């Protein structure tokens, strides 16, 4: 499933390609992709609007339109947005086509789990999916003090903590494992067992791993991470060369080094 770096990469691409464009024709090729309002009303309300900004909240992609409306999109497992010439043939699994000035913004999703909603911009904070999100881990509000406050009195595994979207928004299974590998902490380690120096390492590992992911994906659409690159090369720890271990932690398949992570 796309995580913060993946969505941020799409946001940056769309920011370059579609901001300032005026929406023309709308083709809803799969009605299930438009959750609210109904597809016909969605098309009528966005048609003719100028795209003013593109940004992100957690794993959600936000497209602000003139007239104080915002398209809220979630890629889910296999969704993606592409900007292509209007004459380009419609690819398989294309669910939504938004016509712009000579180009199309197309939402492509093989598994059909992705979706969009149209929300009044002033009501975004009350939109249920966004209302539940925690702090942005790459934003200025996510300070070490804020992270310490999140940890205070918390129980459960570190892996489970990183996956809590209501605490820290945007981290999924892949980057949670990478962050804990960089911090040299076991995914099953209990939150309340962290020493202050370990909490600092985890904070910096979180920001470094996500920034590194965004930079790599923005350059060449290929994720970078020591742990998942090691898995692709056969599953040996890049530090000690011992085999990586997998286990189910916080309900997710989890990879770690039993020697390097404590």
Going by pLDDT thresholds of 50, 70 and 90, the confidence category of residue 212 is: very high
Q: Given its phi and psi angles, is residue 76 left (phi above 0), alpha (psi -120 to 50 degrees) or beta? A: left
Going by pLDDT thresholds of 50, 70 and 90, the confidence category of residue 160 is: very high
In the CATH hierarchy, which top-level class contains the domain 4-131?
Answer: alpha beta
CATH of 144-256, one of 1.10.3720.10, 3.90.1300.10, 1.20.1580.10, 1.10.8.50: 1.10.8.50
Query: The pTM is what?
Result: 0.93
Average pLDDT over residues 231-252: 92
- Describe the crossing of helices 173-183 and 196-220 by its angle, rounded to 10 degrees: 130
Residues 6+ apart with CB under 8 A from 140: none
pLDDT (0 to 100) of residue 228: 76
Transcribe 225-253 into DSSP letters: -HHHHHHHTTSB-TTT-PBPEEEEETTEE
pLDDT tens, residue by residue, 64-117: 999 999 999 999 999 999 999 999 999 999 999 999 999 999 999 999 999 999
Place of tokens 């249920």: 128
Closest CA to 104 of 91, 85, 90: 85
CA distance 49 to 21: 8
How many residues are recorded in the chain?
262
Going by pLDDT thresholds of 50, 70 and 90, the confidence category of residue 234 is: confident
CB atoms within 10 A of CB 66: 12
pLDDT tens, residue by residue, 115-143: 999 999 999 999 999 999 999 999 999 99
Going by pLDDT thresholds of 50, 70 and 90, the confidence category of residue 219 is: confident
Going by pLDDT thresholds of 50, 70 and 90, the confidence category of residue 223 is: low
pLDDT (0 to 100) of residue 127: 96
Angle formed at CA 246 by CA 242 and CA 252, multiple of 5 degrees = 150
pLDDT (0 to 100) of residue 218: 79
Helix (H) or strand (E) holding 26: strand 26-28
CB atoms within 10 A of CB 103: 18
Going by pLDDT thresholds of 50, 70 and 90, the confidence category of residue 226 is: confident
pLDDT (0 to 100) of residue 220: 62
Domain boundaries, the chain: 4-131, 144-256
List, by residue number, the catalytic residues: 2-3, 59, 252
CA distance 26 to 43: 6
Average pLDDT over residues 59-67: 97
The average confidence (pLDDT) of the chain is 95
| Residue 89, burial from CB neighbour count under 10 angstroms (0-12, 13-18, 19+) | exposed
- The answer to whether the beta carbons of residues 182 and 226 sit under 8 Å apart is yes
- Describe the crossing of helices 196-220 and 4-17 by its angle, rounded to 10 degrees: 40
CA distance 102 to 24: 10
């Amino acid at each position: 499933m796309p995580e913060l770096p993946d969505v941020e990469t799409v946001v940056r691409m769309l920011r370059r390609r579609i901001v300032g464009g005026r929406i023309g024709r709308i083709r809803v090729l799969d009605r299930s992709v438009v959750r609210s309002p109904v597809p016909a009303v969605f098309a009528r309300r966005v048609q003719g609007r100028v795209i003013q900004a593109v940004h992100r909240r957690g794993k959600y992609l936000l497209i602000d339109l003139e007239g104080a409306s915002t398209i809220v999109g979630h890629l889910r497992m296999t969704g993606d947005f592409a900007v292509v010439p209007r004459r380009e043939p419609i690819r398989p699994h294309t669910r939504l086509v938004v016509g712009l000035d000579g180009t199309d913004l197309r939402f492509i999703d093989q598994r059909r789990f992705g979706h969009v909603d149209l929300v009044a911009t002033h009501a975004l904070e009350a939109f249920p999916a966004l209302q539940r999100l925690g702090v942005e881990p790459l934003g200025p509000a996510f300070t070490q003090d804020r992270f310490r406050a999140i940890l205070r009195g918390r129980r459960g595994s570190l892996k489970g903590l990183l996956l809590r979207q209501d605490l820290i928004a945007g981290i999924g299974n892949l980057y949670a494992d990478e962050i804990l590998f960089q911090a040299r902490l076991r995914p099953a380690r209990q939150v309340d067992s962290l020493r202050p120096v370990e909490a600092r390492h985890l904070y910096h590992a979180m920001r470094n791993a996500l920034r590194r992911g965004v930079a790599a994906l923005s350059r060449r659409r290929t994720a970078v991470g020591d742990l998942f690159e090691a898995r692709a090369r056969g599953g040996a720890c890049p530090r000690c060369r011992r085999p990586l271990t997998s286990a189910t932690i916080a309900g997710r398949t989890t990879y770690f080094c039993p020697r390097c992570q404590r």
